[in-house]
Structure 1
Amino acid sequence: MHPFVHAAATPDTPAIIMAGSGAQLTYAELEARSNRVAQLLRAHGLTRGDCIAVLMHNGLDYLPICWGAQRAGLIFVAMSTKLTADEAGYIVSDSGAKAIFASAALGAVAAEASAGLSARFASGGAIAGFADLEAALAAQPATRIADESCGRDMLYSSGTTGRPKGVKGTLPEGAIEAGDALTGLVAMLYQFGPGMMYLSPAPLYHAAPLRYCMAVHRFGGTVVVMERFDPETYLAMVEKYRITHSQLVPTMFVRMLKLPEDVRAKYDVSSLKVAIHAAAPCPVDVKHAMIGWWGPVIYEYYSATEGAGFTSITPEEWLARPGSVGKSILGEIRVLGDDDQPLPPGQTGRIYFAGGTRFEYHNDPEKTASVMSEHGATFGDIGHVDGEGYLFLTDRAAFMIISGGVNVYPQEAENALTLHPEVVDVAVFGVPDAEMGEAVKAVVQPRDMARAGPELEAELIAFVRARLSHVKCPKSVDFMAELPRHDTGKLYKRLLKDKYWAEAAA
């Protein structure tokens, strides 16, 4: 299916509602606007296989631009709004983008990053050197272009190590309404269908929010887009719009659970049928608490932008196997040891998916080769499978700490510290230690920075030691007002770790 089908059948159904402003587009309006986008891009000479860049905050224009590119057979690169001009310029150049759409609030970065482009459009205000998007679209017909074909996204990794890389898949053949793998997946796993109300609390430039919102439109549902996540506002939106489906990340769960009990209790979330989470490991106690609050509606998957593999687990399965991210439904899971040979169930090693979706990193064959082997592709994670084929993640391979010859996975300490009422956010990693090689360090964002100091440090270390063996526990705790975390929930742990190692070297 495709939005144009729903525009004909149910033209007045809201396709997009902005949570903050209440502004909305019906399916008829989405169809007209995406057609105008496609016409505009053709008028500027873009043809099938060409690329556009989108550097925008969540707003009413975002998804119509992506649908316009999709029906014009183009590749659309959704870019993080947190990029510097240099970082954004690299992506514009590396992707070969021939046009850019930008929010006026990001004008300075967008202007510098796209200086060589002639097709530049500003949304929500003026940017020097950019055409006004509203005026540019008004000059185009709302009819379908004559040469429609199926486009797709090319999303860049968040760049936690080195320059980000575009994850490039095959440009689909066939009609624009042809179903894709995700459409079948969400129908089967998550009950996507007509009449669904989907709440999207994360930035649309990230893979899951963008792809799942577009999947909702294939089924004729309504997407309610939050401009930014706020825990109480999220609950209010669930109640206001009788939300049936949503996708979140574990940090959002944690922030909602830390709301005062009376705040949590005043919102009706009984309309929720499916709350999907992924993107980062979820502490077992946090997920238990969420299921206790919302009921058995919380589904989990494990995958990545690359899409080389996909596991899924229902709430009922998870309650029987706490901590698992499920069985594979795309790609065969292989766990490899240090000798690159498969390990038996129960043993921990590097996780690969064999036989999954093919992909490559745009303009980087070496990076592509680095994640491939005869056993498939890896996302860089460590874990094990049990005797029934359920996958359990341990941590990222890059974050493993070797202390006194013992492998320590910081996720365990992070999960424990997350449960402390004074902890808003936490990162655990290894720092240089003359005796042990590496020592376990925690950096905590406290609820109240006035409490940061030796007394709270001792309290937090004791809290973790009551739950984990001492070798896994932080030897020291530092405090920060805010940790460097991506809007999608990914922690930029490398930025913290590099600082400590550089200071030790100096």
Structure 2
Amino acid sequence: MLSKLGAVAEQVGDALKASKALREARLTDIKKPRRLVETFKNTKIIGPMATVMAYNSKDIPDRPAISDEHGTLTWAQVDRQSNALANTLLDAGLKPGSVVGIIARDHRAVPLAQFAAGRSGIRLALMNTGFGAAQFVEVAEREKLEAILYDEEFAGLADSLPPEMLRIVTWHEGDADFGENIRTLEEVVATGRTTMPPTPKTWGGMVILTSGTTGLPKGARRAKFSPFASALLVDRVQFPYRSSVVIVSPLFHSTGFATWAVATAGGNETVLLRRFDAEKTLAAIERHKAELLVAVPTMLHRILALGPEVIGKYDTSSLKSVVVAGSALSPTLSEAFQDQFGNVLYNLYGSTEVAIASIAKPEELRQAPGTIGKAPVSSYMVLFDDNDQRITEPNVKGRLFVRNGAPFEGYTDGRNKQILEGHMSTGDMAYFDENGLWFIAGRDDDMIVSGGENVYPLEVENLLAEHDAVADIAVIGVDDDEFGTRLRAFVVPAEGASPDADELRAHVKSNLARYKVPRDIVFVEDLPRNPTGKLVRRELPTGPLDG
């Protein structure tokens, strides 16, 4: 543990380094001290996103702010439409501190809701578009939603909420009639008052849900703004300034939200696609001359699957950075993507709870494909063994804990993560090498014991992903009478390939220990993944196999 003096010295050092990173990214300007003071003051009152939007609407009112299938909004238009939405919510009886949920694909409604919530003092809960009815209702009740913004396709979920709840449809096809008491976002921004709503006493905060791959998604509360939050990203990632970014990672997830927030702070146009399409993504990069793409690893796989001929139809030379997060980046995918698009890939590791823990730069991914890189400014990663003792030697696996300048404030149900020496558990097993590069070995609870040996499925998954006949792969542990647990691999064959189970077992056996060879190999058409690309292991069958 740090002494009080050491903690103060660390904080001062982090502040200086973070300030330098923010200046170099042009997110702050020491030549404008008054604005810096105003920014810190306003973020406590209306939140960071509404504060940034207000500056952009004054500094660059006519520059593009958001582009989607409905067209492009300038910063001046975003300013007026956010006010219209904020005033509509307040006029309907909501008050600062009320909680509004939004369940929507990636389009203008999500940023507008963020800005409107900040200006009105309302707390915004970002709901997962992969929710089933039971999950949606339970989360809505837990978060105490008083209004819901939703795309037409989620009308069935919205209808499961109390009928008196305020509803606004954020996206619809055609001229559908939703009833007398349900308005559309188009109506709201066209008729709502565009004057500035009353200034709230404090920022209402926001709720980002965890991925929920192991159960009901938990709500991660964020009601305080840390200036370190943006520095965590720009310290290791090259972000554009007043240019264009394409974000296809869901905005309701922490990665999509965090990268959008930093891009917005830099006055960039954000290009959004309601549904991911590999070729449309390349077309958007070309059309908007985007310098940054934010995606999840499965999306990169689908882009590469288009093949060189289709990829070559689009000019993507404007791309300087491609940020991936949300699920593990395999070494094979890392190498293949940079071979095609150049050294532009950044692998971000973190979670809704710990924020950004580490980022691998393009050259680090070339040096050690699949690495999660190193910690950015104000982030500290440590390993503990099963006895809660620190691990300080390289290449020794342990439980990964993180401490950084964007602290988690606890789940909305009152629970929290395990804390050791001021560091929060990530739930992952990890190690670092002699060069200080970090690697994830797998989830702590994914480890299985087979015949007395510890096995992490991720290691086997990465190896099988290298095989030309494998398009996607998942490995889990299932009960075994003889060994206690054995490995079962679910394989999505590559297009045109007919992999043989014995051939895949031989591939593993020739590279890893015998006890890491999957006993079962099951061929499937696809794997269960959530909207952020994470594998939902609980949906994979663990019982006896037919035949």
State whether TM-score is above 0.5.
yes
Deviates more, 1:7-16 or 1:100-109: 7-16
Deviations 1:62-120 (A, max 9, x none): 211121112222221111112122211111111112111011111011110x2255321
Residue identity opposite 2:257 in structure 1: L
Alignment partner for residue 398 of structure 1, among 442, 445, 454?
445
The corresponding residue for 2:223 is 170
CA distance in structure 1 between the partners assigned to 2:358 and 2:307 by the alignment: 34
The corresponding residue for 1:432 is 479
The corresponding residue for 1:458 is 502
Q: CA deviation at 1:22?
A: 5.7
Alignment partner for residue 222 of structure 1, among 226, 246, 269?
269
Deviations 1:208-249 (A, max 9, x none): 112322332222111111222222222222222211011122
Deviations 1:451-490 (A, max 9, x none): 77xx632333233334333322222211222211012110
State yes or no: 1:158 paired with 2:241: no
Distance 1:41 1:257, change over 3 A: same
CA distance in structure 2 between the partners assigned to 1:316 and 1:382 by the alignment: 24
Deviations 1:177-230 (A, max 9, x none): xx8433334444334353221011122221211232233222211111122222
TM-score (norm 2): 0.83
Q: Is contact 2:384-2:400 (8 Å) kept?
A: yes
Residue identity opposite 1:352 in structure 2: F
State yes or no: 1:304 paired with 2:356: no
Q: Is contact 1:308-1:356 (8 Å) kept?
A: no
Q: CA deviation at 1:302?
A: 1.3
Alignment partner for residue 187 of structure 2, among 109, 127, 135?
135
CA distance in structure 2 between the partners assigned to 1:383 and 1:184 by the alignment: 24
Q: Is contact 1:334-1:353 (8 Å) kept?
A: yes
**1:379 counterpart SS class:** strand
The corresponding residue for 1:491 is 535
CA distance in structure 1 between the partners assigned to 2:389 and 2:110 by the alignment: 45
State yes or no: 1:208 paired with 2:255: yes
Q: Is contact 1:187-1:193 (8 Å) kept?
A: no
- If asked which structure has higher relative contact order (CA below 8 Å, sep 6+), I would say 2
Distance 1:356 1:349, change over 3 A: farther
**1:395 counterpart SS class:** strand
Counterparts of residues 20-419 of structure 1 (less than 5 Å): 21=69, 23-112=71-160, 114-115=161-162, 117-125=164-172, 126-127=177-178, 130-148=182-200, 149-172=202-225, 180-307=227-354, 310-329=357-376, 330-346=378-394, 347-354=396-403, 357-365=406-414, 367-368=415-416, 370-419=417-466
**1:429 counterpart SS class:** strand
The corresponding residue for 2:60 is 10
Distance 1:308 1:12, change over 3 A: closer
Distance 1:103 1:481, change over 3 A: same
Residue identity opposite 2:62 in structure 1: D
Residue identity opposite 2:276 in structure 1: F
Q: Is contact 1:157-1:167 (8 Å) kept?
A: yes
**Unaligned ranges ≥5, structure 2:** 1-50
**2:309 counterpart SS class:** helix
Q: CA deviation at 1:261?
A: 2.7
CA distance in structure 1 between the partners assigned to 2:57 and 2:87 by the alignment: 18
The corresponding residue for 1:500 is 542
CA distance in structure 2 between the partners assigned to 1:488 and 1:89 by the alignment: 21
Residue identity opposite 2:530 in structure 1: H
Distance 1:117 1:388, change over 3 A: farther
Please give the root-mean-square deviation of Cα atoms over the aligned residues, in Å: 2.4
Aligned residues: 487
Aligned residues with identical type, % of pairs:
29
Q: Is contact 1:182-1:215 (8 Å) kept?
A: no
The corresponding residue for 1:176 is none
CA distance in structure 2 between the partners assigned to 1:117 and 1:205 by the alignment: 25
Distance 1:180 1:76, change over 3 A: farther
Q: CA deviation at 1:259?
A: 2.6
**1:328 counterpart SS class:** coil
**1:38 counterpart SS class:** helix
Distance 1:277 1:250, change over 3 A: same
Q: Is contact 1:63-1:214 (8 Å) kept?
A: no
Distance 1:389 1:277, change over 3 A: same
Residue identity opposite 2:211 in structure 1: S
Residue identity opposite 1:140 in structure 2: G
Residue identity opposite 1:473 in structure 2: V
Distance 1:121 1:463, change over 3 A: same
Deviations 1:316-341 (A, max 9, x none): 23333443212223332221111111
Q: Is contact 1:302-1:312 (8 Å) kept?
A: yes
**2:159 counterpart SS class:** helix
CA distance in structure 2 between the partners assigned to 1:467 and 1:257 by the alignment: 26
CA distance in structure 1 between the partners assigned to 2:428 and 2:475 by the alignment: 16
Distance 1:306 1:109, change over 3 A: same
Residue identity opposite 1:493 in structure 2: R
CA distance in structure 2 between the partners assigned to 1:308 and 1:485 by the alignment: 22
CA distance in structure 2 between the partners assigned to 1:422 and 1:386 by the alignment: 30
Q: Is contact 1:461-1:476 (8 Å) kept?
A: no
Distance 1:374 1:390, change over 3 A: same
Q: Is contact 2:228-2:406 (8 Å) kept?
A: no
Deviates more, 1:429-438 or 1:370-379: 370-379
**Unaligned ranges ≥5, structure 1:** 173-178
TM-score (norm 1): 0.89
Residue identity opposite 1:428 in structure 2: V
CA distance in structure 1 between the partners assigned to 2:58 and 2:133 by the alignment: 41
Would you identify which runs of 4 or more consecutive aligned residues in structure 1 move more than 6 Å?
none
The corresponding residue for 1:175 is none
The corresponding residue for 1:479 is 523
Distance 1:84 1:461, change over 3 A: same
Q: Is contact 1:80-1:205 (8 Å) kept?
A: yes
Residue identity opposite 1:500 in structure 2: T
Q: Is contact 1:203-1:228 (8 Å) kept?
A: no
Deviates more, 1:460-469 or 1:336-345: 460-469
Q: Is contact 1:55-1:102 (8 Å) kept?
A: yes
